[in-house]
């Protein structure tokens, strides 16, 4: 079974609108971490935001916030006031505590296109 599911292969959003990218995960661990990365057309993976499973507050980093709903096993990325430069692939990833080598488990990604 998929451990990380991103249900939106692609999204088109008007510039300046807020965007929510979906991510659901599956783990039996109590302690785990959730990450979002951005991959522009240049290919480099850029870290955006992290949420620990025991963090009481949703993580925020500038225009990025993570809507963490633990009971629903959901970790959606919210981008406020989208910009043309936000057009990219976005990947959700998880690290389970049981994994002593800190491997990340990745979703298939969502291609976000911001329209002017």
Partner 1 sequence: DVKVTQSSRYLVKRTGEKVFLECVQDMDHENMFWYRQDPGLGLRLIYFSYDVKMKEKGDIPEGYSVSREKKERFSLILESASTNQTSMYLCASQGGGQTVKAFFGQGTRLTVV
**List of residues contacting partner 1 (CB under 8 A):** 4, 6, 9, 31, 33, 35, 37, 42-47, 50, 52, 91, 93, 95, 97, 101-104, 106-109
Please state the closest distance from residue 16 (CB atom) to partner 1, in A.
28
Please state the closest distance from residue 48 (CB atom) to partner 1, in A.
9
Nearest-5° Cα angle at 3, 92 to 99: 90
**Residue (15 or 29) nearer to partner 1, CB:** 29
**Residue (62 or 102) nearer to partner 1, CB:** 102
**Residue (43 or 116) nearer to partner 1, CB:** 43
Nearest-5° Cα angle at 58, 22 to 30: 85
3-state secondary structure of 83: coil
Please state the closest distance from residue 11 (CB atom) to partner 1, in A.
15
Pairing of strands 4-5, 24-25: antiparallel
Please state the closest distance from residue 53 (CB atom) to partner 1, in A.
10
What share of residues in the chain are helix, strand, coil (percent, to 5)? 5, 50, 45
**Residue (86 or 109) nearer to partner 1, CB:** 109
Across 7-27, b (16+ Cβ under 10 Å) vs e yields eeeeeebeeeeebebbbbbeb
């Amino acid at each position: 079974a998929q451990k990380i599911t991103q249900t939106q292969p692609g999204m088109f959003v008007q510039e300046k609108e807020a965007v929510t990218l979906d991510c659901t995960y599956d783990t039996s661990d109590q302690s785990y971490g959730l990450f979002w990365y951005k991959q522009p057309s240049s290919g480099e993976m850029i870290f955006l935001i992290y949420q620990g499973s025991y963090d009481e507050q949703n993580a925020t980093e500038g225009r990025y916030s993570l809507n963490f709903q633990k009971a629903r096993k959901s970790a959606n990325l919210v981008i406020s006031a989208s910009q043309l430069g936000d057009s990219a692939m976005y990947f959700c990833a998880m690290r389970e505590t049981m994994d002593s080598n800190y491997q990340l488990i990745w979703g298939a990604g969502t291609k976000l296109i911001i329209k002017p």
